[in-house]
Structure 1
Amino acid sequence: MLGRVANTIYWMNRYLERAENYARFMDVNFNLFLELPTNKAQQWKPLVAITGDWPLYEELHEDVEKDEVIYFMAFEAQNPNSIYNCIVNARENARAIRPDITKEVWEQINSLYYLVKADCAKKRHDDKDLRQFFNNIKNGCQLLYGMYDATISRNDGWNFGKLGQLVERADKTSRVLDVKYHLLLGSVKQVGSSLDLIQWAALLKSVSAYDMYRKKYGKLKSASIAEFLILDTEFPRSILNCLLRAEQCIIRLSGSSFGYSNSAQKKLGALKSQLEYTDINDIIEKGLHEYLDNIQLKLNDISTAIYDSFFSVEQHIN
């Protein structure tokens, strides 16, 4: 497969996963807004911080307001990571590789594109419209994931697509957990309070982990939640589970399951092993924020290594 085509498939899936994550984060925050004391900055700033786009938000807006944050994350044309831009970029990538995807996948991406385009054109959005929009994006992306899995042959293209989705998913899980620990809780005195528990429950719901967590652990405890989202091998949105499945994609693409044959396989395998051979007490002792920050840096390195190992190969030939 040409490096250009592989790169396009990879990023198409990253953009779709990013759009779905943003829709989920904002939808959960609406529910949280009804239960928490009024503090707009405390509630809405972390959503922007999750994306890493806080400096851009500050350039465009003076205050942290609910409507401005939602518009910035959902529809802002100047925000390259807004839901609108993610869906537009995913569609452009899909159009470029139309022969490599199925009719069902292409039509569903088009459906998402026209959905977000229509909502972006609206001059005014009330809460009901926004909740429906976020649900439509979540359901539309999840429907697309099902179509992708059910209609695409398990060839190199499928593996590059899943690899992009899983790297993006691991990154967003690490970010949402880091923001809760680092920004949401206003005072150490609130640890274990009803406010603290509401925030932890919202965090689990934002990554669709609430039901599976309660089934495994029962009570809401910060250490157990961190363990579930970082180290659980069975939950599909935990960081370790994403890395385990991403490694299988890398192995199939590299053609080698022993050692490593490229820098992407080496870096991904090293991070996966780091998580496999640690426990939550070690992580907390080192500092949860510092540990998650290190994971994010390594995921960025893995993304760069994936590009160097697979997508820039044609440049090396020349």
Structure 2
Amino acid sequence: MLSRVAEAVYWMARYIERAENVARFIDVNYNLTLGEGSTLGHQWAPLVYTTGDEGLFEELYGEPSREAVLQFLAYDQRNPNSILSCVANARENARSVRETITAPMWQQINTFYLMVRSAARQGRPLSEPNDFCDAVKLASHTLLGLTYATMSHGEAWHFAKMGRLMERADKTSRIVDVQYYLLLPTAQDIGSTLDVVRWSALLRSASALAMYRRIYGPITPTNVARFLVLDRDFPRAMHFCIVRAQNSLCEITGSAVGTFKYRTEQVMGRLRMELDYTSIEDIIEQGMHEYIDHFQSQLNELGKVIHNDFFLLPTNTTEVAQSPTQSQSQTQVQTQSMS
């Protein structure tokens, strides 16, 4: 399989997943703050931290407001992680590998892009983002279903699956981190209705509320963290994502779990083993923020070694490996080898 094809399919899936997650964050935060602007107005600023773009936002907009954050996250093409930018980048990657993806997939990506671009021109989410966010999530899920049902489950499919799951693990870790450190209630709010609403909002951002209730019942911060970080069966839990991403990696390389021929397999296996043998008590003792920060650093390293092992052309390896690499979750990786 050509490295340019693997890279394009991998990033197509990552960008679509990223767009969906940003829509999730906007939707849940809007519902959480609706009618409570004076009390919860500061909760719009943390959404920018979720995507890791607080520096760029401050440079472009200065002080955060609901309108500014919505514009920045939904439509601003200067923001590489806005919904519009992500869908446009996914479409460009898909266009470059039309021979690899299926016609229904290309049609859905194109329809997705035209829908977001049309909404951007009308400025719809600035006043009422719920319908727009629902449309983004539905478009993403439709593409996921078409990918599963119409594309052969070979190398290209597994590269797409691996990229999607890595992006999902990153965004789940970020929203957990933000909830613990930027949206924590005051001492008098702990255990109150407001506190439960906030933790419920975190679960809803991952479509996890119903499954959490089925397993744990009452909402507590410790169990919410245990579910979103360590659960092996829920599709948006960090542990689930890494296990399934490793499965796809093994399908690509042909290696058995626990062995490695590539640096990527070693890094992925180490990350999976840490999640396998970590308890929520260990995480709390270490500190949630410190644990998430370590996890994101490992994801960034994993992104780098995937790029080096599978996407670099042999003639470019030395030159590119010496250049600085930014956080995979904060900036788009340029796909120079697409042409």
TM range (shorter): over 0.9
Equivalent residues in 2 for 1:73-84, closer than 5 Å: 73-84=73-84
Structure 2 match to 1:216: 215
Structure 2 match to 1:133: 132
Equivalent residues in 2 for 1:269-308, closer than 5 Å: 269-308=269-308
How much has 1:313 moved relative to structure 2?
Answer: 4.5
Output one character per residue of 1:30-77: Cα deviation in whole Å (capped at 9) or x when no partner.
Answer: 110126562455210111100000010000112211011000000001
User: CA–CA distance in 2 between the matches of 1:317 and 1:55?
Assistant: 31
Equivalent residues in 2 for 1:218-257, closer than 5 Å: 218-257=217-256
* 2:33–2:41 Cα contact (<8 Å) kept: no
Structure 2 match to 1:4: 4
* 1:3–1:314 Cα contact (<8 Å) kept: no
Output one character per residue of 1:235-258: Cα deviation in whole Å (capped at 9) or x when no partner.
Answer: 000000000100001111111114
Equivalent residues in 2 for 1:1-318, closer than 5 Å: 1-34=1-34, 36=36, 38-39=38-39, 42-123=42-123, 125=125, 127-128=127-128, 130-257=129-256, 258-315=258-315
The gaps in structure 2 that reach 5 residues or longer are 319-339
Matched pairs, number: 317
How much has 1:195 moved relative to structure 2?
Answer: 1.8
Question: Segments of 4+ in structure 1 off by > 6 A?
Answer: none
TM-score (normalizing by structure 1): 0.96
* 1:232–1:241 Cα contact (<8 Å) kept: yes
User: Is the partner of 1:261 in helix, strand or coil?
Assistant: coil
Output one character per residue of 1:136-193: Cα deviation in whole Å (capped at 9) or x when no partner.
Answer: 1110100110000001101110010001000000000000000000100143443222
User: CA–CA distance in 1 between the matches of 2:66 and 2:317?
Assistant: 50
TM-score (normalizing by structure 2): 0.90
Q: What is the aligned-residue RMSD (CA, Å)? A: 1.6
* 1:36–1:195 Cα contact (<8 Å) kept: no
* 2:172–2:206 Cα contact (<8 Å) kept: yes
Output one character per residue of 1:78-100: Cα deviation in whole Å (capped at 9) or x when no partner.
Answer: 10110000000000000000000
Percent of paired sites with the same residue? 44
* 1:16–1:141 Cα contact (<8 Å) kept: yes
* 1:40–1:64 Cα contact (<8 Å) kept: no
**What amino acid maps onto 1:70 in structure 2?**
L
* 1:4–1:311 Cα contact (<8 Å) kept: yes
* 1:236–1:242 Cα contact (<8 Å) kept: yes
* 2:176–2:202 Cα contact (<8 Å) kept: yes
* 1:13–1:161 Cα contact (<8 Å) kept: yes
User: CA–CA distance in 1 between the matches of 2:317 and 2:80?
Assistant: 32
